[in-house]
C-alpha cells in the first residue's frame, strides 16, 4: 500500500502525531516536547492557555505559530454557545479557522455531549470554520458529523486523561471503513503501544497530551510516541497476516529429509 499524505482541510502535515500544550510544568518544557515529538500541529485550549496577553508569558513566545500549526480547541466548554464563542475569539486573536471542537457533557468523565457537538459543527461550518471534532466512538454519530461538514473525526479511545488506551477497537474499525475523512484518535492514550494500536487500526493520526505531559520523563515519552506512531503506520501499510487459531510452520515440509 502507498502511504497517502496526512491531509486535513487541504493542508499537508508531515507528522501524524498531534500534541496538546496543557499540563506541562512550563512553556519551556512544552516547547522541548513539541520539538522532540516532531509534531507540526499542537492543540491550544483558548480558554486556559495565554496566547493574547503580552504582559505575561505566552505560548507563542516558545512555540512559533509560523512553524507549528496551532489548533485552537474548546476545552472546558459544555454548550454549543460557549464553544462557538470561544472559537470566534480564536479567529479574532489569530485568524485561525482550522479548529478542534470539544463540547463536554460530563464533568467527571469528560465525555462529549454529542447533540451539542453536532449542532456546533453545523453552525461553525456555516461560518467558514474547518472543524475537527472530538466525539464518542459511535459510528452513526461519526457519520452525522461527517455529513454536517466536519473535516476530521476524532473519537475518544477512553476518557480524557485516563490513559486506559483504546477500549472499543471494533467501533474504531467501523468508523475507519465508513469515512474518507481523517480519523484521529483523541483522548485516552496512555503509552506508546496504545498509539501503535491506533495506527494499526488504520487511523490517520493520534492526539496526545496527558500521556506525554504527565509522564515521569515527558521528553523521552514524546520520542516514544513519535516512534510508536511511525511504527504503527508502517505496520498498517504492510498488511498484517491473517490470524489463525492453529500453528503454521515457518518452513515448508516439502523435500524434508
> Nearest 5°: phi and psi at 134?
-75, 130
Closest to 92 (Cα-Cα) out of 122, 127, 59, 117 = 127
Measured distance CA(195)–CA(161) in Å, rounded: 14
Contact predicate 162/188, CB 8 Å: yes
Does residue 11 carry a catalytic annotation? no
Catalytic residue among 100, 130, 169, 214: 100
Please tell me whether residue 147 adopts helix, strand or coil conformation.
helix
Q: What is the DSSP letter of 158?
A: S
Nearest residue to 119 (alpha-carbon basis) of 141, 93, 95, 86: 141
- Alpha-carbon span 140 to 245, nearest angstrom: 32
- Which amino acids are annotated catalytic? 100
Amino acid at each position: 500500500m502507498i502511504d497517502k499524505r496526512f491531509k486535513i482541510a487541504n493542508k499537508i502535515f508531515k507528522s501524524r502525531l498531534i500534541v496538546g500544550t496543557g499540563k506541562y510544568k512550563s512553556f519551556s518544557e512544552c516547547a522541548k516536547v513539541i520539538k522532540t515529538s516532531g509534531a507540526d500541529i499542537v492543540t491550544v485550549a483558548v480558554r486556559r492557555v495565554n496566547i493574547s496577553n503580552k504582559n505575561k508569558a505566552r505560548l507563542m513566545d516558545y512555540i512559533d505559530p509560523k512553524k507549528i500549526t496551532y489548533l485552537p480547541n474548546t476545552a472546558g466548554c459544555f454548550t454549543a454557545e460557549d464553544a462557538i464563542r470561544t472559537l470566534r475569539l480564536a479567529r479574532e486573536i489569530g485568524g485561525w479557522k482550522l479548529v478542534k471542537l470539544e463540547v463536554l457533557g460530563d464533568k467527571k468523565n469528560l465525555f462529549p455531549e454529542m447533540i451539542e457537538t453536532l449542532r456546533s459543527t453545523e453552525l461553525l461550518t456555516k461560518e467558514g470554520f474547518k472543524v475537527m471534532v472530538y466525539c464518542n466512538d459511535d459510528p452513526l454519530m461519526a457519520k452525522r458529523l461527517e455529513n454536517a461538514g466536519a473535516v476530521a473525526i476524532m473519537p475518544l479511545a477512553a476518557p480524557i486523561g485516563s490513559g486506559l488506551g483504546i477500549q472499543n477497537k471494533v467501533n474504531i474499525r467501523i468508523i475507519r471503513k465508513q469515512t474518507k475523512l481523517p480519523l484521529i484518535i483523541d483522548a485516552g492514550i496512555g503509552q506508546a503501544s496504545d498509539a501503535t494500536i491506533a495506527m494499526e487500526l488504520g487511523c490517520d493520526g493520534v492526539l496526545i497530551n496527558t500521556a506525554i505531559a504527565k509522564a515521569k520523563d515527558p521528553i523521552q515519552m514524546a520520542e516514544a510516541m513519535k516512534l510508536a506512531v511511525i511504527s504503527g503506520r508502517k505496520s498498517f501499510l504492510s498488511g498484517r497476516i491473517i490470524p489463525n487459531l492453529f500453528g503454521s510452520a515457518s518452513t515448508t515440509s516439502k523435500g524434508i529429509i
